[in-house]
């Protein structure tokens, strides 16, 4: 074989081998991209494909704030982020990077709490939503894990739908909004046991990362209903009114001495797993419902 043909063969063989491996890597990369539920782990071509496939994007929002003497400050965002990831995997949808900061002036009396002003927070979330909508994502979910954001997520959703300038449907809700019946069916505490740093949040954290939960410090702080309409528990259905108050007085955000509202002492890892599963199922149903809409 003449030398140049031999060299060409080697070159050609190497070229084919390199090209084949590049093609394989590209396919592997694409596969990797689409196999993750996290938008932040994808490449832009993966995102383009996800837009064409009309995936729903979930933005988990929460707060960094006191959660009683037993739970970590990031309880709200970790709960909503983990629920979002599990529901997204179940329905082949996506999760945007979570927002760790929320509106929580009522807990500023406790060290570590960080609160964002209402207008700043709504504008920030609106701009995330607008960015996603302008790229072509037509279905967005703001999944909330913190009570203090409840009103603001509705305003942000309305703002995104109205200001993005493109066709876009936005659903905003807290994970407990869609799971009252399912959670109430398996809870151990009486009404008043679920509010903040309570049976629900503590059980979810025990399920997700029990190494960070200091159960020996958990204290019960169950309020008594002072009037017929007063909302006592986050899992109560409609017909009740949340009475805000600052500086105690037994209102919705009266944290007692330790920053707990409800009964975390009955929380267990087993109920946390059950709560997590029923909540994920309900959130997944919302995602499927949203996917079906035109």
Tell me which residues touch Zn ion (CB under 5 A). 76
Question: CB of residue 55 vs Zn ion: minimum separation in angstroms?
Answer: 28
Contact 81, 64 (CB under 8 A): no
Nearer to Zn ion among residue 76 and residue 254 (C-beta): 76
| Residue number with the smallest Cβ distance to Zn ion | 76
Question: CB of residue 194 vs Zn ion: minimum separation in angstroms?
Answer: 10
Nearer to Zn ion among residue 137 and residue 175 (C-beta): 175
- In the structure encoding, which two tokens stand for residue 90, read together? 């179940």
Nearer to Zn ion among residue 55 and residue 146 (C-beta): 146
C-alpha span between 159 and 119 (Å, rounded): 12
Question: CB of residue 119 vs Zn ion: minimum separation in angstroms?
Answer: 23
Q: CA nearest 213: which of 250, 259, 165, 268?
A: 268
Question: CB of residue 200 vs Zn ion: minimum separation in angstroms?
Answer: 9
Question: CB of residue 197 vs Zn ion: minimum separation in angstroms?
Answer: 6
Question: CB of residue 71 vs Zn ion: minimum separation in angstroms?
Answer: 8
Question: CB of residue 191 vs Zn ion: minimum separation in angstroms?
Answer: 18
Nearer to Zn ion among residue 76 and residue 82 (C-beta): 76
C-alpha span between 192 and 195 (Å, rounded): 7
Nearer to Zn ion among residue 52 and residue 257 (C-beta): 257
Q: CA nearest 127: which of 183, 202, 59?
A: 59
Nearer to Zn ion among residue 76 and residue 138 (C-beta): 76
For residue 96, what are the β-bridge partners?
none
C-alpha span between 262 and 146 (Å, rounded): 15
Q: Residue 159: which residues within 8 A CB-CB, separation 6 or more?
A: 122, 126, 129
C-alpha span between 141 and 192 (Å, rounded): 29
Nearer to Zn ion among residue 111 and residue 165 (C-beta): 111
């Amino acid at each position: 074989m003449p030398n140049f043909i031999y060299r060409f063969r080697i070159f050609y063989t190497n070229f084919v081998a390199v090209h084949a491996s590049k093609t394989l890597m590209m396919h592997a990369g694409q596969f990797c991209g689409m196999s993750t539920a996290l938008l932040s782990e994808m490449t832009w071509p993966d995102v383009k494909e996800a837009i064409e496939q009309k995936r729903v994007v979930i933005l988990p929002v929460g707060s960094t704030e006191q959660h009683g003497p037993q739970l970590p400050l990031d309880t709200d965002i970790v709960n909503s982020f983990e629920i979002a990831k599990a529901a997204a995997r179940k329905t082949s949808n996506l999760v945007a990077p979570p927002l760790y900061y929320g509106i929580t002036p009522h807990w500023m009396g406790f060290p570590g709490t960080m609160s964002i002003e209402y207008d700043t927070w709504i504008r920030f979330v609106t701009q995330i939503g607008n960015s996603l909508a302008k790229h072509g994502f037509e279905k967005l979910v703001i999944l909330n894990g913190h009570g203090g954001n409840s009103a603001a997520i509705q305003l942000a959703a309305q703002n995104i739908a109205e200001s993005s300038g493109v066709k876009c449907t936005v659903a905003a809700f807290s994970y407990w909004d869609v799971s009252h019946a399912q959670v109430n069916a398996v809870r151990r505490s009486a009404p008043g046991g679920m509010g903040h740093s309570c049976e629900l949040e503590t059980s979810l954290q025990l399920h997700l990362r029990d190494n960070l939960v200091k159960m020996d410090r958990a204290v019960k702080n169950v309020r008594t209903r002072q009037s017929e309409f007063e909302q006592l528990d986050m899992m109560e259905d409609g017909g009740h009114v949340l009475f805000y108050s600052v500086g105690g007085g037994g209102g919705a955000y009266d944290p007692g001495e330790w920053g707990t509202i409800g009964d975390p002492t009955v929380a267990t890892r087993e109920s946390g797993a059950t709560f997590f599963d029923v909540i994920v199922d309900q959130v997944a149903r919302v995602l499927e419902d949203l996917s079906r809409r035109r």
